[in-house]
Amino acid sequence: MATVERFTPPSTTHEVTNQPPPLIGHNAFDADPALQEALVREGGAWGVDRARELGELVASAEADEHRRRAQRNVPILRTHDRFGHRIDEVEYDPSMHWMLRAGIEREVNSLGWRETRPAAHVVRYALFYLFNQLDTGPCCPFSINYAAVPTIRQDPVLAAQWEPRLALPDYQRFAQAGMVMTEKQGGSDLRANSTVATPAGDGWYELTGHKWFCTHPVFDMFFTLGQTEAGITCFVAERPHPGFRLQRLKDKLGGRCLASSEVEFDHLPARILGEEGRGTKYMIEQIIWTRLDTLAGVAGMMRRLVSEAVWHCRHRTAFGAPLAEQPAMQNVLADLAVESEAAMALTLRLARAFDATDDQRETAFRRLGLAVAKYWVCKRGAPLAAEALECLGGNGYIETMESPVSQFYRDIQIGTVWEGSGNVIALDVLRAIARNRESVEAFLTECELAAGADPRLDDHLRAVRRGLDHLGTAVNPEWIARAVVEDMALALQASLLVRHSPTSVADAACARLAARRRAFGTLPSGIDATAIVDRSLAA
Ligand SMILES: Cc1cc2nc3c(=O)[nH]c(=O)nc-3n(C[C@H](O)[C@H](O)[C@H](O)COP(=O)(O)OP(=O)(O)OC[C@H]3O[C@@H](n4cnc5c(N)ncnc54)[C@H](O)[C@@H]3O)c2cc1C
Ligand 1 atom nearest residue 216's Cα: 8
SS (H, E, C) 122-176: HHHHHHHHHHCCCCCCCHHHHHHHHHHHHHHCCCHHHHHHHHHHHCCCCCCCCCC
Q: Is pLDDT of 5 > 90?
A: no
**For residue 356, what pLDDT band results from cuts at 50, 70 and 90?**
very high
The CB of 424 under 6 Å from ligand 1? The reply is: yes
**From CA 15, how far away is CA 517, in angstroms rounded?**
42
Element (H, E) at 58: helix 48-58
**From CA 325, how far away is CA 317, in angstroms rounded?**
9
Among 142, 180, 244, 421, name the best residue to mutate to test ligand 1's pocket (greatest count of ligand atoms within 8 A of Cβ). 421
Instruction: Average the pLDDT over each of 28-32, 368-372, 430-434, 470-474 and give the range with the smallest value.
Output: 470-474
The CB of 463 under 6 Å from ligand 1? The reply is: no
Q: Is pLDDT of 298 > 60?
A: yes
Alpha-carbon distance values, 368 to 177, 353, 436, 467, 489 (Å): 27, 11, 9, 15, 10
pLDDT mean over 47-67: 98
The CB of 180 under 6 Å from ligand 1? The reply is: yes
Among 418, 425, 478, 482, name the best residue to mutate to test ligand 1's pocket (greatest count of ligand atoms within 8 A of Cβ). 418
**For residue 527, what pLDDT band results from cuts at 50, 70 and 90?**
very high
Among 145, 176, 184, 188, name the best residue to mutate to test ligand 1's pocket (greatest count of ligand atoms within 8 A of Cβ). 188
Q: Is pLDDT of 10 > 90?
A: no
Residue 353: predicted pLDDT: 98
| Atom 24, ligand 1: residue with shortest CA distance | 187
Higher pLDDT, residue 54 or 11:
54
Tell me the torsion sign for CA atoms 90, 91, 94, 96. negative
Among 213, 261, 280, 414, name the best residue to mutate to test ligand 1's pocket (greatest count of ligand atoms within 8 A of Cβ). 213
Cα 280 to ligand 1 centre (Å) = 15
pLDDT mean over 128-138: 98
Ligand 1 atom nearest residue 215's Cα: 8
Q: Is pLDDT of 402 > 90?
A: no
| Atom 38, ligand 1: residue with shortest CA distance | 424
The CB of 287 under 6 Å from ligand 1? The reply is: no
The CB of 177 under 6 Å from ligand 1? The reply is: no
pLDDT mean over 63-67: 97
The CB of 414 under 6 Å from ligand 1? The reply is: yes
pLDDT mean over 466-484: 94
Cα 508 to ligand 1 centre (Å) = 35
At 500-510, the pLDDT tens digits run 999 999 999 99
The CB of 514 under 6 Å from ligand 1? The reply is: no
Residue 215: predicted pLDDT: 98
At 72-106, the pLDDT tens digits run 999 999 999 999 999 999 999 999 999 999 999 99
* DSSP letters for 83-108: TS-EEEEEEPPHHHHHHHHHHHHTTT
At 212-265, the pLDDT tens digits run 999 999 999 999 999 999 999 999 999 999 999 999 999 999 999 999 999 999
Q: Is pLDDT of 2 > 80?
A: no
Residue 4: predicted pLDDT: 55
Ligand 1 atom nearest residue 181's Cα: 11
**For residue 518, what pLDDT band results from cuts at 50, 70 and 90?**
confident
**For residue 12, what pLDDT band results from cuts at 50, 70 and 90?**
confident
Q: Work out the mean pLDDT of the chain and round it to a whole number.
A: 96
pLDDT mean over 150-178: 97
pLDDT mean over 44-69: 98
| Atom 23, ligand 1: residue with shortest CA distance | 187
Ligand 1 atom nearest residue 421's Cα: 47
pLDDT mean over 416-426: 95
Cα 228 to ligand 1 centre (Å) = 23
pLDDT mean over 400-416: 90
